[in-house]
Amino acid sequence: MICPDAERRLDAYLDRELVPDDAADLEEHLASCAGCRRFLAEREALARLVRRLPYYPAPDRLRSNIARACARRRFNPSLLAWAAVLALSVSLSGSLATIRFARARQVAAATSSVADEVVGDHLRALRDAHLFDVRSSDQHTVKPWFLGKLDFSPPVDDLSSLGFPLVGGRLDHVAGRPVAALVYQRRLHPITVYIWPAVDRAAASDARTIRGFQVRHWNRNDLSFWAVSDLNADELGEFVRALQP
C-alpha cells in the first residue's frame, strides 16, 4: 500500500468501516510510515475536537414565546420550524468556526513539519555529499531515470537559459513517502526541488527561512513542490517563478 491509498482510507478506518483485510493492510502500512501515522493522529485530534463542541441552546426569549404558544393551545408549526432553524444556525455557526480554526492549525502544523523535513534532508545531502543518484544537465536523461522508481512522473524543466542549470537528481523520502529530488545550481549554490503528489495537508503555498535556508512551497498540476537553498531570497524567487504555472 502506498501513502495516497492509505490516506484515502483513514476516515473509514477511524469509523471502523473497513473490512478486516483492508484494515490489516492499512495497519501494516501505518507501522512503517511516520507520515501517515502523523496524518492519522491529526484526524483523530479533529474528531475529538468535534465531539467536544459546545451545545448552543435556543435564546430564552424564543423559549418563552414557544411556551406561551403551546400554553394557549395555539401551536404554530411554522414557529417551531423557525425556532429549529435559528437554534441550528447558532449551533452550526459556532461549530463551523471551531472546525475552521482547528483545520487552519492543522494546515499550519503540517506545513511547518514538512518544511523542517525538507531542510533537514537538504542538509544531510550536502553533509554526505549525496546530492545525486543521477548526475546530468540533460532533462531527457534525468526524467527517464525516475521511471519505475515512483508512482508519478516528476516534471524536469530546463532552466539553464535563466542561469539555473539542472545538475542532476535523486530518489529521496520526505514525510514517509518516496519523492523526486531535482538539483539545480546558481553559481556555487545548489537548489533542491522536492516533488511528490499533492496529497499532504500542507498549505498550497508557503515561503519561510529555516536555519539560514530559504524554503518555498507551491502546487502545480496536482503535484507538491518544495525548493530549498541558501541562495538569496530574490534569486530563489526568480527560480520559483520560472517553475510555477
In the CATH scheme, what is the code of domain 111-243? 3.30.200.100
Q: Which amino acid is at 98?
A: T
CA distance 155 to 194: 11
* Mean pLDDT in consecutive groups of 10 residues from the start of the chain, 245 residues: 76 83 86 80 72 66 74 57 60 55 73 92 93 95 95 95 97 91 96 90 88 94 95 96 89
pLDDT for position 44: 77
CA distance 229 to 92: 45
pLDDT for position 84: 62
C-alpha cell belonging to residue 36: 501517515
Tell me the pTM: 0.61
pLDDT for position 171: 96
Residue 200 makes CB contacts below 8 A (sequence gap 6+) with 35, 39, 110, 114, 175, 224
**Would you kindly state where each structural domain of the chain is located, as residue ranges?**
3-105, 111-243
- The pair phi, psi for residue 147, each rounded to 5°, is -60, 130
pLDDT for position 107: 75
- The pair phi, psi for residue 235, each rounded to 5°, is -70, -35
pLDDT for position 67: 75
* DSSP bridge partners of 197: 223
pLDDT for position 123: 94
